Amino acid sequence: MGDDEPGRAANGRAPTIRDVARAAGVSVGTASKALNGRGQLRTETRARVRAEAERLRFRPNDLIRSMQRGRTYTVGLLTGDREGRFSLPLVMGVEDALGEAEILVFFCNTRGDPERERREMESLLAKQVDGLIVMGWRSNLRPPIAVPDARVPVVYAYSRVADPAALCLLPDQAHGARLATERLLAAGRRRLAHITGPTDYEAVWERWEAMAAVLAEHGLGLPEERVLCGVWEEGWGYAATGTLLDRDPAVDGVFCGSDTIARGVLDALRDRGRRVPEDVAVVGFDNWEILARFARPPLTTIDMNLHDLGREAARRLLAMVGGAREAGVVLLPCRLVARASCGVAGDETVH
Amino acid sequence: MGDDEPGRAANGRAPTIRDVARAAGVSVGTASKALNGRGQLRTETRARVRAEAERLRFRPNDLIRSMQRGRTYTVGLLTGDREGRFSLPLVMGVEDALGEAEILVFFCNTRGDPERERREMESLLAKQVDGLIVMGWRSNLRPPIAVPDARVPVVYAYSRVADPAALCLLPDQAHGARLATERLLAAGRRRLAHITGPTDYEAVWERWEAMAAVLAEHGLGLPEERVLCGVWEEGWGYAATGTLLDRDPAVDGVFCGSDTIARGVLDALRDRGRRVPEDVAVVGFDNWEILARFARPPLTTIDMNLHDLGREAARRLLAMVGGAREAGVVLLPCRLVARASCGVAGDETVH
């Protein structure tokens, strides 16, 4: 007794509860009680079993526990974001919330391929995951994931499906646009423009409408010639700024649909001799730190709080695993990160 | 028989092999043989069992299979990269290689916290993962992960430990620096400079040495005044370029330690009236597309092939799970992505 190599039973297997029982000279049932802290046992017996378990480096097998409990304490996370720019903060938020509940996350990147998504989902279900989180990389409608087992709850995070029984968590794009527009107005700007991405993104429409609504509340307009929709690229921001200034040289504030676009806008304004924020104030979207913090000047931008969205998705999934029923589209707030590109008197800008 | 709700047994549980057997009117052993394609069965019986399994949406339970086979077909992936810039292509490479082998990946981001790493590793081992991949976000030496079970193989990817029994896969930083320097020389540049990150990164030293070695082979020097080590930030690239041009206005080529630094270098050169690549050619490092492709001009840069490194790490881990023993530091090649910032006659630059 007590002379097996730690971490291995005599035959080289990982030690089991049987090996612990044998080493401690007790039955399997007694060893199990001792390790679980259940049942009536002499203190000495309990201590001996625990000492042998530690010496043998016995690790309780989660697979067995999982089958006993009918839960695996695993969650599958499916994302279609090739670049990871949006999914990574989400994943970290999910992981933070699930880690507190001692749940591990299977990560599957489907590259936006429906066939791959179906295969990965089947693999996740075969592993008996307790639930699924399905992430998008834009808020457009996507087809619901066809989970053949209705008992496996699904939360859509940063992605939206038409199924009214589904739970979808999204950043509130209109709220973000409202924050950006109000900040430009607070900086004394009255002749605003919007340079953004392609119109096949719902977010493009939602933000445009919200911006126009805020301006209307202040008795200001947003004529179409001052809204330029293109692609999510720096080069587009640069080119669009040239077009904008040709159309209307008096523009004094630009709300950009992404930080990449904003970088191009800032470069073009500088090349045209416009000072930022003195002549033109600029606000971006995404708070992609590496672009926003080192822009010249540093960029005021909207943060979609994707880490928090990931945490919230995980929390709601856990509630559903526990039996709660949740459905509908939940919009979570954005926040504005103030930096020098949109100077407001008395503003605590971050440099 | 045959009237249970699909996906559920009569009592609301997930259907088991027992339910399939009952529905098909056969024994559990016969149902199992029919589904596994083993044993001697009448074609009709086999077909009936399979039809019932399909109708009930019976999914074989991987947990049971795992315990039968002594493998779970899962791998744990531990990363300390908060930002995901380096870990994400690695993760996708790992996932591609493991997906082919129908293995799923548990993703754990330790945020570089050793205590969190230990906890996450314990959770992964409790889930009986077949192996671990440990990722870093710089190639500096890190402490080996203390896996208490010697039968669980570990591969270090983009991270290095001193243990000679460990297998560490790293990008060949010296190879990357060699490619960059040779490209600048091929573009006719003779007075080169290096603007890079902090000297507590091994990669900074490895690249500096390799650059100096290539120049020495061509009878050229790299005086210390033309090597500027700072931080991995755009602002540093901008500031360092000013210092460099004050020290030596005749510099005609700059190798930058990252694409962020290179963006600052390009801006500073433009502000100083230097044309790129005509007056000064510039090469970056990382091939971070969003920065490199939309730089003005688009940036020639070194790609560390992290996706391939992830694939290779996964393949070697699978070999080790299968019993192979691998150890040592393996350096994998980089590649140069040619764009306009380092014009070479006849070069197929990517715009």
Q: From the first residue on, what is the mean pLDDT of each consecutive set of 10 residues in chain B (351 residues)?
A: 48 72 88 76 88 80 63 90 78 89 89 88 90 82 85 93 94 97 96 96 96 98 97 96 98 98 97 97 95 94 96 95 93 96 63 37
- A146 has a chain B CB within 8 A of its CB: no
Q: Quickly state the pLDDT bin for A61 (edges 50, 70, 90).
A: low
Optimal mutation site among B19, B54, B104, interface A, most CBs of chain A within 10 A:
B104
Kindly tell me if the per-residue pLDDT of A350 is higher than 50: no
Distance from CA of B214 to the nearest CA of A (A): 32
Q: Please tell me if residue A7 touches chain B, with a CB cutoff of 8 Å.
A: yes
Return the pLDDT at A68: 59
Cβ A176 vs Cβ A208: under 8 Å: no
Structural contact between residues B287 and B336, judged by C-beta atoms closer than 8 angstroms: no
**What class has domain B173-304+337-342?**
alpha beta
pLDDT at B33: 80
B124 reaches A (C-beta below 8 A): yes
Q: Environment class of residue B224 by beta-carbon count within 10 Å: exposed (0-12), middle (13-18) or buried (19+)?
A: exposed
Task: Return the top range by mean pLDDT from A158-167, A240-249, B102-111.
Answer: A240-249
**Per-residue pLDDT at B345:** 55
Query: Does residue A5 sit at the B interface (CB-CB below 8 Å)?
Result: no
* pLDDT score of B325: 92
Give per-residue burial for B279-299: e unless 16+ CB within 10 Å, then b.
Answer: ebbbbbbbbbebbbbbbbbbb
Q: Percentage of residues in chain A with pLDDT exceeding 70?
A: 88
Q: Which CATH number fits domain A72-171+306-333: 3.40.50.2300, 3.30.1600.10, 3.40.1050.10, 3.40.50.300?
A: 3.40.50.2300
A109–B107 C-beta distance less than 8 A: no
Q: What is the pLDDT of residues A73-93, one digit of tens each?
A: 999 999 987 777 778 888 889
Common-topology check for domains A72-171+306-333 and A173-304+337-342: yes
End-to-end CA separation in angstroms for chain B: 66
Residues 205-244 of B with CB under 8 A from A: 233-235
- Assess if CATH 3.40.50.2300 describes domain B69-171+306-331: yes
User: Chain B residues with CB inside 8 Å of A296's CB?
Assistant: 267
Is A30 within 8 Å of chain B by CB?
A: no
Which of A14 and B229 is assigned the larger pLDDT?
B229
- pLDDT confidence of residue B100: 82
**ipTM of the complex in this document:** 0.79
**pLDDT given at position A65:** 63
pTM of the full structure: 0.82
Q: What pLDDT, on a 0 to 100 scale, did the predictor assign at position A308?
A: 96
Q: How many helices (H) and strands (E) does chain B have?
A: 12, 12
Cβ separation of B151 and A8 shorter than 8 Å? Answer: yes
pLDDT the model gives residue A60: 66
Q: Please say if the pLDDT value at position A105 is more than 70.
A: yes
pLDDT at A169: 96
Q: Contact B149/A57, CB-based, under 8 Å?
A: yes
pLDDT in tens, A192-224: 999 999 999 999 999 999 999 999 999 999 999
- Residue corresponding to tokens 């391939």: B308
Give residue limits of the domains in chain A.
17-60, 72-171+306-333, 173-304+337-342
Q: Report which residue type is found at B48.
A: R
